[in-house]
Structure 1
Amino acid sequence: MISTGRTLRGILWLIAALYWGMAGAQSRSSTGSLRGKVTDAKTGEELIGAGVVIVGTYLGASTDLDGNYLISNIKPGDYVLRVQFIGYATQLITDVSIRAGETKVLNVALKPQTESLNEVTVVGRKSTVNLESAKSEVTFKFEEISQMNVRNVQELVAMQAGVVRSPDGLQIRGARVYETEYIIDGISAQDPLAGTGFGVEVSSNAINSLSLITGGAGAEFGGGSSGVISTTIREGGDRFEISGNWQRDYLINAQNPTSFNTDIVEVTFASPIPGTRKKMTIFNNLTTRLTDEYFGPTANQLISSLLPEQSKLLAPRYSNTHIHTLKLAYQLKPGTKITFTNQFSLSINQNTRMLQIVGFDAILVPGFQYARSQNLDNATTYTHKSILNAVNINHLINKKLGVNISLGRLFTNLRADANGRPFRTETVDQIFDEDHIVTDPVEIFNPGDPTGTYFVLPGNGLVNNGGISPIWHDHYAQEYSIRTKFTYNPNDNINFISFGFQHSANEYQWVDVIRPWVGAPIKINDTTFTPSISIGSSNDIWAVRPHNGGLFVEDKITYKGIQATLGLRLNYWAMGRFADEAVENSQSPVINQVREDYLRKTTQLLGLRWKARLMPRINVSFPVTENNVLYFNYGHSMRMPHPRFVYAGLDPVYQNRSFLANLGNPDIDPEINVSYEVGIKTKVNKDLGFTLTAFNNNRFDYIVSRSVITRDPTGRFVTRTMFINQDYARIAGVELGFNYRWLSHYNFFGNAAYQVARGKSNSARESALQIAQNGEVQLSREQYLAFDRPWNINVGLMFSPDSTFKVMGRKITGFRAFAIYQYTSGFRYTPMRRVGELEVRPGVERPLFMPENDKFLSRLATPWHNVDLKISYDYFITKFTGLTFSIEMRNALNNKNAQIINPVTGRAYEFGDDVPNDWRDPRPEFNGPQERGLDPRNPARYLPPRQMLYGITFRF
């Protein structure tokens, strides 16, 4: 295996060689010139001192007293021209072609700024690569998103370099799923307690723009350590528009092989509000997605205990999602704009991945409750409700200073229970435990045995005795936040300074109970027993009010083609009065060392104890040759620990008294990422662009668990599981991306990423298990991480012909097609080797396998291949009125992509395969009474098979 350091050095040498080659080839060409005049678009007045720069070069000029500019010695090629002047929106003019010996004339009319200091107007087509940005960033507008077969933010982000989608969620550059900062209209939209990385869902048709930053995020971002997903909601336009869309995966019979009984209905309208002279607009979107998925069995009816009366309407299928988006925008005056966003989403389903208790869940496991599939009416049902309100104020104080203020409220609530059943009944008069019983009819294993002792075959291992799910969970997170960002642009066209702050006041409540019926009165023969004080067999209950925020300053310096952004962010946080009082109370279960460290490392202010951390950010980019830019990023970022690691078990009344119950650590610190990145961006011509990036992320202070001795409320010494910062991980990789336009009708795009993620453990729980089994020596060794999937490749095509494109002499205007192929390495697993035989019955022996622990997670399972297609045809009745007919195919080639891996074979189980000895072997010759575990033929062991959706859209 080639070391990470050698790999990165090889990438740097490759980058250098590419540039030397480009420099040598282009230096032999003759040059051209560019001249013109810059004026005010409204008055026609010449603008003196406007900056005119050819992006991706050192070439530029300022306009003279007559507003004229001249740039000479331009090598032939296709360029982007940036024109800027104080008080006016910057204009980017794409596809500016310069020929040898030519003096091209290009006059520019700038419009005054109307919303913010950093307004940019693009004239022409979107550039194939952004040579101005020193970040690893991709941005999509609504027009591009509408051509793709994506339904939400997650599906769009999953198509990008370095992003891997797994059953847990999205992993960006080898990080864990919860480490992403997710923003909607300037406000955090992530459920901080669910552990999924997302919270409020947004329909793809409601997205105005989406930006994904995987490297080089600015100092204004401080809530994530792997990447930033920033979404802006659409606004109404200057005329009334209404549209609707209906997709389903069957036309007549929902039982066909490509149908999951899916319906997707969407209605959108946008309009200026009458009487406001088009200064105020409204945008509204309502989306409903209903599906039974592909697993087969479903509950007769899902019941949400949060919405019991509405469940029949809102949750008729296995997975039910409802999204509503409302946005009002008001242009108060030129330079001042106010928007209000209300984003609501509701999901009701039986997918266990809705709740991921960070650091403890078994990772990379699909959420289908296979063990309960014979009676899903008693399985765990999840209801996730999210509401985000955001008020954004953009105001230009003067031509040099502007401010953006974002005020927000986020509320998320997740309830999980036994399909709508109450927490527990007043009395317990039945058995609720989900013990497996032999499937009826009972089959005797050894009929006629002379000893008179008979055994029965154990069935399939599915629970089927009428018991209910033992999970009862409810949490809510309410966050009030303010973000303020000032931008200052001195009259030198060199510095662009931004500074501001962000503060969030949070309220979290967490109730997690296992087997809640334990502790209720038991009614036997009409005798009621005294109620117990127990809340389930185990529980974790707390309500807290932490605070966090940050101060930042950043200076973007642009000088003769060189761009350098120097930023610094100070993050601060307070765990809240609940934690402070637990530390100060000598009778609380807090460990003495934790108490001492917490008091020493925190500062008392405004009645709370605070911590802080400085995080530098540096981005640099500069042209090496024309249209070839080298860039470098360095930065520190952090992610606050899941609140459960901080507050569990600190309440003096509601304490979990079970063995090895969890104990929070108020002194725990954020998880830290120190990232390095170097890359090149190359614009070959106006139709072809490349990016090549090498990155290295060093993650520190990952959370691990340890056993400690403390006192319970009665004064007895007990063992508890506590959390500390100790683990680390290293992720290094390289990414390649390209974008190619051909004949104005085709747009090819693609990206490929290779990365390696190594560390000491995959979760807080695993670290403790490693010590218990192997001691500290095993934990000190670096190993592959379970979520490491080295290769990720995406290649796509958009086809959108205009009136000039003909097939057999006929125009096909209105026809559009989108296709994408995705390849992802399979999951990592520890191989098993055959070591002998295990006797099943006389004369029959089952192969015996043992894990090769010296090759821990060293193997990759079968890779994932996926092809998605979307074909649509627009039929216009008038310029703004028409219909669109579409056919969408997901997993068009019907590939079987394994997500539950048999470590004996390295792929998903197929009948006849050998399996580990703690798996049930369904082959009749090995079926004996000693079999344990579930039947391995879980339908969720593969990703979804082929699905075809038929759609119709109307618009007026």
Structure 2
Amino acid sequence: YLVPTIPDISTPDHDLYTKKPVQFSFYIQDKMEYANFIMNIGLRYDYFNSRSKYSTNTIWPSPNDPSLPAYVDKNSILADATPKHQLSPRFGFSFPITDRGIIHFSYGHFFQMPPFQYLYTNPNFKSSYAVGTPIFGDANLNPEKTVTYEIGLQQLLLDDLAMTVTGYYKDVRDLLALQTIRVSGDRTYLKYVNKDYGNIKGITLSLVKRRSPSSPLGVTVDYTFQVAEGNDTDPDAFFLDLSSGRQSEKIPVFLAWDQTHSLNTTVTFGKINDWTVTIVNKIGTGLPYTPQITGKQVYVRTNSGRRPSQFIVNLFAEKIFKLFGFKVTAFAKVFNLFDNLIERLVYDDTGRATYTLLYTSGGAKSAEELSQKIPLVHSPEEYFNRPHYYQPPREVRLGFEIDF
């Protein structure tokens, strides 16, 4: 069977490299407490320099392209990435409305650089359209900049029962995306780019019942309704707009992490500082995916389909006892208690991880040809068997901790 290896240095898939980016940040924060309200004010500074090259040419993104015309100056294709930095103010306050309830509000700016793998993908700019679609990172990617607004109410209903209602809105700029850029009929490449804009809005309702010496039961229930939308651009239009400097037409689409409904419950039962059993239940509607109509050249809007909903239950138990004067905690953790088959990724022609039309649409011969493209894949069935499309099965962990 296939043993994971690093691809040969001569191939575009070779991803072993050494980079030395520079990153630092600092912040100041002050908390002010008054008779009727509490205020937090802060300011953060972030700096990042990838210290690498990036491609500035849309038509010829690689100086190593074997088909590069003589009139294109290789030395003009790459440039040094510029440093990125940002000052991020943050502000929050809360004030009581009754002796059992408070209202809180927060506002803040946040700075997040993309993961390094997207900055340095294919760092040697290898390009060979004959062996597949090349992918290029971009060491000059902008940070993802988020402005968040949040307002909420916390209300104590009983001595051990509290309710929280929180509404939030996030305005996100320079979202990261993998953009298809179609230069001509036989020349298409992929590049990580900033996709301009997204917004996330939602509301969370939660109830919390605390455990106490007289009440061994603790319960937390929270429900979130959320809509996360961003921009998308047609591959052909994206190339033409980059070449001409024209602003691309933006198409609103759901973002990859848009989960409309999610419900989480935690039930804890036990004696404090003795033993505890906790059951955690998570239910969520399916995340978006982009459907594909097999055998048809039809444009389908990005993320217009939905994967199956997810349901998982985890169990945690612990027992505390004394041993030779030490505090010892024995524990058991069971993830995916009921061993549910949870579809994490899906085939884009069916929207399911369990089957694909590729196996039947082209006949047995086509399926056999697909399987032969991957070294050490022995059959079409093995080719279409994708364990990584699923969440892990049931997992049981047993252990203990010793506190000195």
**TM-score normalised according to structure 1 size:** 0.33
Question: CA–CA distance in 2 between the matches of 1:941 and 1:572?
Answer: 37
Task: Tell me which residue corresponds to 1:858.
Answer: 304
Task: Tell me which residue corresponds to 1:729.
Answer: 198
Mapped pair 1:745 → 2:220? no
Task: Tell me which residue corresponds to 1:825.
Answer: 285
Displacement, 1:624?
1.6
- 1:767/1:642 CA distance change after superposition, 3 Å: farther
Question: CA–CA distance in 2 between the matches of 1:671 and 1:787?
Answer: 15
Describe the SS at the equivalent of 1:920. Answer: helix
- 1:878/1:745 CA distance change after superposition, 3 Å: farther
Displacement, 1:871?
3.8
Task: Tell me which residue corresponds to 2:263.
Answer: 793
Displacement, 1:573?
3.7
Displacement, 1:673?
0.8
Question: CA–CA distance in 1 between the matches of 2:295 and 2:122?
Answer: 40
Q: Give the number of aligned pairs.
A: 363
Displacement, 1:753?
1.7
Describe the SS at the equivalent of 1:900. Answer: coil
Deviations 1:338-359, CA, capped at 9 Å, x for gaps: xxxxxxxxxxxxxxxxxxxxxx
Q: Which has the larger radius of gyration?
A: 1
Task: Tell me which residue corresponds to 2:366.
Answer: 930
Question: Does the CA-based 8 Å contact 1:672-1:699 persist in structure 2?
Answer: yes
Greater relative contact order, per chain length (Cα 8 Å cut-off, separation 6+): 1
Question: CA–CA distance in 1 between the matches of 2:12 and 2:300?
Answer: 38
Question: Does the CA-based 8 Å contact 1:538-1:658 persist in structure 2?
Answer: no
- 1:928/1:550 CA distance change after superposition, 3 Å: closer
Structure 1: which amino acid aligns with 2:40? T
Task: Tell me which residue corresponds to 1:701.
Answer: 174
Task: Tell me which residue corresponds to 1:379.
Answer: 3
Displacement, 1:544?
4.2
Deviations 1:638-663, CA, capped at 9 Å, x for gaps: 1124456656778xxx5525348666
- 1:767/1:621 CA distance change after superposition, 3 Å: farther
Q: What runs of 5+ residues in structure 1 fail to find an aligned partner?
A: 1-374, 381-416, 418-471, 473-513, 517-534, 603-609, 710-717, 803-812, 834-847
Describe the SS at the equivalent of 1:921. Answer: helix
Question: CA–CA distance in 1 between the matches of 2:198 and 2:339?
Answer: 36
- 1:851/1:875 CA distance change after superposition, 3 Å: farther
Deviations 1:756-795, CA, capped at 9 Å, x for gaps: 111124xxxx974784799999961011123322222211
Q: What runs of 5+ residues in structure 2 fail to find an aligned partner?
A: 57-72, 371-379
- 1:767/1:631 CA distance change after superposition, 3 Å: farther
Structure 1: which amino acid aligns with 2:262? N
Task: Tell me which residue corresponds to 2:392.
Answer: 944
Structure 1: which amino acid aligns with 2:146? N
Task: Tell me which residue corresponds to 2:339.
Answer: 894
Question: Does the CA-based 8 Å contact 1:675-1:697 persist in structure 2?
Answer: yes
Question: Does the CA-based 8 Å contact 2:43-2:90 persist in structure 1?
Answer: yes
Displacement, 1:619?
0.8
Task: Tell me which residue corresponds to 1:632.
Answer: 105
- 1:680/1:938 CA distance change after superposition, 3 Å: same
Question: Does the CA-based 8 Å contact 2:227-2:260 persist in structure 1?
Answer: yes
- 1:614/1:880 CA distance change after superposition, 3 Å: closer
Question: CA–CA distance in 2 between the matches of 1:909 and 1:379?
Answer: 25
Percent identity, aligned pairs only, is 21
Question: CA–CA distance in 1 between the matches of 2:200 and 2:298?
Answer: 24
Displacement, 1:637?
1.0
Task: Tell me which residue corresponds to 1:816.
Answer: 276
- 1:826/1:851 CA distance change after superposition, 3 Å: farther
Question: Does the CA-based 8 Å contact 1:538-1:657 persist in structure 2?
Answer: no
Mapped pair 1:690 → 2:163? yes
Question: Does the CA-based 8 Å contact 1:539-1:656 persist in structure 2?
Answer: no
Q: What are the residue-to-residue correspondences of 1:39-54 with 2, within 5 Å?
A: none
Question: Does the CA-based 8 Å contact 2:219-2:267 persist in structure 1?
Answer: yes
Structure 2: which amino acid aligns with 1:785? L
Task: Tell me which residue corresponds to 1:536.
Answer: 11
Question: CA–CA distance in 2 between the matches of 1:664 and 1:906?
Answer: 28
Task: Tell me which residue corresponds to 1:557.
Answer: 32
Question: CA–CA distance in 2 between the matches of 1:665 and 1:877?
Answer: 56
Mapped pair 1:756 → 2:204? no
Partner of residue 676 from structure 1, selected from 131, 139, 149: 149
Structure 2: which amino acid aligns with 1:862? P
Partner of residue 867 from structure 1, selected from 313, 318, 325: 313
Question: Does the CA-based 8 Å contact 2:180-2:188 persist in structure 1?
Answer: no
Question: CA–CA distance in 2 between the matches of 1:781 and 1:655?
Answer: 30
Question: CA–CA distance in 2 between the matches of 1:941 and 1:657?
Answer: 29
Question: Does the CA-based 8 Å contact 1:702-1:726 persist in structure 2?
Answer: yes
Question: Does the CA-based 8 Å contact 2:326-2:402 persist in structure 1?
Answer: no
Displacement, 1:706?
7.6
Displacement, 1:692?
1.4
- 1:579/1:930 CA distance change after superposition, 3 Å: closer
Describe the SS at the equivalent of 2:165. Answer: strand
Question: Does the CA-based 8 Å contact 2:262-2:283 persist in structure 1?
Answer: yes
Q: What are the residue-to-residue correspondences of 1:326-725 with 2, within 5 Å?
A: 375=1, 378-380=2-4, 417=5, 472=6, 514-516=7-9, 535-536=10-11, 539=14, 543-576=18-51, 589-591=75-77, 611-643=84-116, 656-659=126-129, 667-703=140-176, 705=179, 725=194
Structure 1: which amino acid aligns with 2:155? T
Displacement, 1:694?
1.0
Question: Does the CA-based 8 Å contact 2:195-2:231 persist in structure 1?
Answer: no
Displacement, 1:905?
5.6
**TM-score normalised according to structure 2 size:** 0.71
Structure 2: which amino acid aligns with 1:379? V
Question: Does the CA-based 8 Å contact 2:8-2:14 persist in structure 1?
Answer: no
Structure 2: which amino acid aligns with 1:899? R
Question: CA–CA distance in 1 between the matches of 2:327 and 2:118?
Answer: 55
Task: Tell me which residue corresponds to 1:217.
Answer: none
Displacement, 1:868?
1.9
- 1:903/1:851 CA distance change after superposition, 3 Å: farther
Question: Does the CA-based 8 Å contact 2:292-2:300 persist in structure 1?
Answer: no
Question: CA–CA distance in 2 between the matches of 1:645 and 1:954?
Answer: 41
Task: Tell me which residue corresponds to 1:839.
Answer: none
- 1:887/1:853 CA distance change after superposition, 3 Å: same
Question: Does the CA-based 8 Å contact 2:142-2:174 persist in structure 1?
Answer: yes
Deviations 1:790-847, CA, capped at 9 Å, x for gaps: 2222111221236xxxxxxxxxx944311111112223234577xxxxxxxxxxxxxx
Describe the SS at the equivalent of 1:550. Answer: strand
- 1:818/1:588 CA distance change after superposition, 3 Å: same
Question: CA–CA distance in 1 between the matches of 2:258 and 2:207?
Answer: 24
Describe the SS at the equivalent of 2:259. Answer: coil
- 1:769/1:626 CA distance change after superposition, 3 Å: farther
Question: Does the CA-based 8 Å contact 1:541-1:649 persist in structure 2?
Answer: no
Stretch of structure 1 that moved more, 611-620 or 944-953: 944-953
Structure 2: which amino acid aligns with 1:783? V
Question: Does the CA-based 8 Å contact 1:830-1:852 persist in structure 2?
Answer: no
Question: CA–CA distance in 2 between the matches of 1:894 and 1:864?
Answer: 12
Question: Does the CA-based 8 Å contact 1:831-1:852 persist in structure 2?
Answer: no
Partner of residue 359 from structure 2, selected from 904, 916, 920: 920
Question: Does the CA-based 8 Å contact 2:50-2:139 persist in structure 1?
Answer: yes
Displacement, 1:672?
0.8
Question: Does the CA-based 8 Å contact 1:539-1:655 persist in structure 2?
Answer: no
Q: What are the residue-to-residue correspondences of 1:188-203 with 2, within 5 Å?
A: none
